[in-house]
A = this chain, B = another copy of it.
Amino acid sequence: MGRGSNLPRVGGFNRAVVLEAIRHSADGLTRAQLGRITALAPQTVSNVTRELLDQRLIHETGVVAPGGRGRPGVALSLNPSGGFAVGIHIDPSALGIAVVNLTGEVIAETYGPLPSPEDSTAVIAHLHYEVDRLAREAEVPHDRLLGIGVAAPGPIDDDAGTVSPPLLPGWGTVPLRDLLARETGFDVVLDKDVTAVAKAHLWTGESPEPDNFFVFYIGAGAAITPVINGQVIRGTTGNAGESMHLPGDPLSTSARGRTLGTSLGERELVAHARELGLELPGEIDSWDPTVIDVGFTRLLELANRSDATALKVFQSAGRVLGMAALAVSELLDMTAIVITGPRWGAMRPLCEPELKATVAGHMLHGQPRPLTVHTSSLGERAGTVGAACLVLDRVFSPTPSTLLIDG
């Protein structure tokens, strides 16, 4: 803080406010409707929309009959092909790349294992090849590609644009942002995977409380990212969302079960099952994603065949989710959780009854504090769409801090 504001900054902000209002409308908005929504003067709306039309970010899509009073007006909608963004989701065991248009719609995508996970140089060359291929496939003009967003496993170094993913030990610390920008020639925005995933849900607005919710991401580990007043909480270094020391299963009697960090996530669920005597394939205590995957797939199979021990593991996971949800919702006074992650679709029927039982009828100091549990509809796209939103966010999303004069 400390910086003032001035008219040029206000201009840029109002442009984003108008774009954002148009984005949220189903059938476009007239200039009069925009004026009512944004509280901007008619002349300002007129100037801003003319500029956006010139830049082809919006287009006119017909005449809207007024609701009640006023004259019919020309509806302004986002021009889907006005701009495009690439979103890349790098996971220790998987790679997803998507091209989205200005409305956030996916127009080309590819998902598969991460090739040569031990070699970051090879991964970057592969990303370059795939981005070019997908952009050609989607017929995206080069000058309309606004940039590349990357969702990477943490920890990240925000200033340096580096990643040091512990589950990709061959990488060490890689200056991913700058290397990819140099390789591809595009602007690159780097963020932690779970931050991008939260951004995707903010963008698609599917939370029951669209501006205040927290996202549970269950993958190799488990992360919880709060969204407060429409802003994803990134933390002081961009590494927020860690859940290691949140509470575990209240019914657990083992040391492992006492904190979330040692009881949720695919690797931890496999460890829990073994602790209960279940025999699962794969090397014990391995951090190798493919080894964890083999054990976890088998655990899911057993649970779906009603193996009592396997069921118990997922029931316990449901209680852990519920306890963490209570802890975070009380701390930050929020009422909605969105759960996502590559395996959540399969885990959900096994975990959800205990999760819902844990949060049902929640009271605090004698007053009800209801909590809504929502499953993300984004599936494996959460990471790629979120990464693309890191880029689109720079075009839309009027954060008031953009009003401040650059220091």
Q: A398 in the interface, Cβ–Cβ < 8 Å?
A: yes
Q: How far is the CB of A232 from chain B (nearest CB, A)?
A: 11
Q: A243 in the interface, Cβ–Cβ < 8 Å?
A: yes
Q: A145 in the interface, Cβ–Cβ < 8 Å?
A: no
> Which residues 146-181 in A have Cβ within 8 Å of B in the complex?
154-155, 164, 166
Count class of interface residues, chain A: 35 or more
Q: How far is the CB of A368 from chain B (nearest CB, A)?
A: 10
Q: A364 in the interface, Cβ–Cβ < 8 Å?
A: yes
Residues of B within 8 A of A403 (CB): 5, 10, 13, 400, 403
B44 touches A323 (CB 8 A): no
Q: How far is the CB of A329 from chain B (nearest CB, A)?
A: 9
A244 touches B404 (CB 8 A): no
Residues of B within 8 A of A236 (CB): 209, 212, 333-335
> Which residues 200-247 in A have Cβ within 8 Å of B in the complex?
209, 211-212, 224, 226, 228, 230, 233-247
Q: A332 in the interface, Cβ–Cβ < 8 Å?
A: yes
Residues of B within 8 A of A209 (CB): 236
A164–B240 alpha-carbon span in the complex (Å): 33
Per a CB cutoff under 8 Å, which of B259, B334, B366 touches A166? B366
Greatest chain B CB density within 10 A among A1, A13, A328, A406 is at A1
The list of the 3 closest CB pairs from A to B, nearest first, reads: A235-B333, A400-B400, A240-B333
Q: Which residues of A contact B (CB under 8 A)?
A: 1-7, 10, 13-14, 17-18, 20-21, 37-41, 44, 154-155, 164, 166, 209, 211-212, 224, 226, 228, 230, 233-247, 250, 258-259, 323, 326-328, 330-335, 364-367, 398-401, 403-407
